[in-house]
């Protein structure tokens, strides 16, 4: 009797330990996955910092002589060398520059004399706002359109999606932006043709100023995502567990939202993450067309004036932003597909 009771306690205890291990193990797996992704991001950021710092050596000849202007004196060249730290060995220059960058000090502009960090901070919200509206617009269009085409594969709506997505991908964003300005902004009091208002000033005006730029920038992304959603959903809807769910009488809406969407999200999230860099780069033209004071305009003026510290700061900040977004995308794989946690 005593032995049976002890065995029962041991079994219960072992069962409890087993259950606890089953709970802890996935958490540890997720933690290891996140740690691996973060470690990879640190390495990528290090590479981005080297690329940003190395831009100064792309200036032909002596960078200080070129940046000091036409016919500079030795004193002016020496002043530029001192300002950029070019009078130190290259490895010391990089260490000093990286140490300052980690504290938020990206140096001073050679042309305006203002802090590079302050100039980027003032303009970055504009670029991020346009990118945010582009992503929102793309998802609002791509998810229902791609779903409709997948559910009605081979129908007229599916064929229209194929034609429309091809046109959307092939149409340049600047052409769409020009059409929106001519046919929408100039004929409507709601959508301004130029300017920017931040969300801290007015949410209403922030939406008004960013809607058309977001549509122009996000149209190609919406077309690409719609095609990916259609393709992924078609594969998932053919799977055995979807057929089983339908055979049980589960409504089609539940089948899509609970089973199909999650299991078809990986390629869509991958495309979305890969397109972030393209979207940020595309804001250069969109900001010019809508006269918005974003990072794009600052980058163009800095390149034309050979303002190396500003160019370095922009490359570093945008590179870090892209790395951060792709890290979040990698981590999201563990939610959509538990097999990727290993």
The CATH code of the domain that includes 200 is 1.10.3720.10
Between residues 189 and 117, which one has the greater pLDDT? 117
- Condensed to tens digits (0 to 9), the pLDDT of residues 283-326 reads 889 999 999 999 988 988 888 887 888 999 999 999 999 899 88
Tell me whether residue 118 is in a domain. yes
Per-residue pLDDT averaged across 232-236, rounded?
86
Between residues 122 and 13, which one has the greater pLDDT? 122
Tell me whether residue 44 is in a domain. yes
Tell me whether residue 302 is in a domain. yes
Residue 18 has a pLDDT of 44
- Condensed to tens digits (0 to 9), the pLDDT of residues 117-170 reads 999 999 999 999 999 999 999 999 999 998 888 888 888 888 888 898 889 888
Tell me whether residue 85 is in a domain. no
Per-residue pLDDT averaged across 217-227, rounded?
92
Cα–Cα distance between 282 and 296 in angstroms, integer? 9
Q: What DSSP string runs through 168-233?
A: HHHS-HHHHHHHHHHHTGGG-SSS-SS----TTT-HHHHHHHHHHHHHHHHHHHHHHHHHHHHHHH
Residue 342 has a pLDDT of 61
Angle among Cα 324, 311, 219 to the nearest 5 degrees reads 55
What is the percent of the chain where pLDDT is above 90? 30
Per-residue pLDDT averaged across 4-32, rounded?
52
- Give yes or no for a contact between 225 and 138, defined as CB atoms under 8 angstroms apart: yes
Residue 257 has a pLDDT of 78
- Give yes or no for a contact between 30 and 331, defined as CB atoms under 8 angstroms apart: no
Residue 279 domain boundaries = 28-60+104-341
Tell me whether residue 22 is in a domain. no
Cα–Cα distance between 311 and 307 in angstroms, integer? 6
Tell me whether residue 51 is in a domain. yes
Angle among Cα 171, 175, 180 to the nearest 5 degrees reads 115
Q: Tell me the pTM.
A: 0.81
Residue 13 has a pLDDT of 42
- Condensed to tens digits (0 to 9), the pLDDT of residues 82-101 reads 776 777 788 888 898 889 88
Residue 207 has a pLDDT of 95
The total number of structural domains that make up the chain: 1
Tell me whether residue 193 is in a domain. yes
Among residues 186, 191, 182, the alpha carbon closest in space to that of 210 is found at 191
Residues in the chain: 342
DSSP 55: G
Per-residue pLDDT averaged across 164-184, rounded?
91
Tell me whether residue 251 is in a domain. yes
> For the chain, what is the mean pLDDT?
83
Confidence of residue 10 (pLDDT cuts 50, 70, 90): very low
In the predicted model, is pLDDT for residue 106 greater than 80? yes
């Amino acid at each position: 009797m005593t032995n049976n009771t002890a065995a029962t306690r041991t079994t219960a205890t072992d069962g409890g330990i087993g259950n606890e291990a089953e709970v802890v193990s996935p958490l540890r797996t997720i933690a290891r996955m996140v740690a691996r992704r973060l470690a990879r991001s640190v390495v990528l950021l290090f590479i981005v910092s080297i690329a940003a710092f190395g831009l100064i050596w792309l200036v032909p000849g002596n960078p200080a002589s070129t940046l000091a202007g036409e016919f500079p004196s030795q004193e002016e060249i020496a002043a530029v060398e001192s300002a950029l730290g070019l009078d130190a060995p290259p490895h010391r220059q990089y260490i000093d520059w990286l140490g300052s960058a980690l504290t938020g000090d990206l140096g001073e502009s050679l042309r305006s004399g203002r802090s590079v960090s302050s100039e980027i901070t003032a303009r970055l919200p504009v670029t991020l706002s346009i990118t945010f509206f582009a992503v929102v617009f793309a998802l609002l269009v791509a998810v229902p359109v791609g779903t409709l085409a997948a559910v009605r594969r081979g129908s007229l709506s599916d064929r229209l999606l194929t034609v429309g997505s091809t046109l959307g991908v092939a149409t340049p964003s600047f052409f769409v932006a020009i059409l929106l300005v001519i046919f929408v902004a100039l004929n409507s009091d709601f959508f301004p043709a130029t300017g920017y208002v931040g969300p801290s000033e007015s949410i209403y005006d922030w939406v008004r100023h960013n809607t058309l730029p977001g549509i122009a920038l996000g149209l190609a992304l919406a077309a690409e995502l719609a095609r990916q959603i259609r393709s992924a959903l078609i594969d998932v809807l053919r799977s055995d567990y979807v057929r089983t769910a339908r055979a049980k009488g589960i409504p089609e809406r539940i089948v899509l939202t609970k089973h199909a969407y999650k299991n078809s999200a990986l390629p869509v999230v991958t495309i979305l993450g890969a397109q972030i860099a393209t979207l940020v780069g595309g804001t250069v033209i969109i900001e010019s067309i809508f006269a918005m004071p974003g990072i794009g305009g600052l980058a163009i003026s800095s390149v034309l004036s050979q303002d190396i510290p500003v160019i370095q700061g922009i490359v570093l900040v945008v590179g870090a932003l892209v790395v951060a977004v792709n890290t979040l995308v990698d981590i999201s794989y563990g939610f959509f597909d538990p097999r990727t946690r290993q």
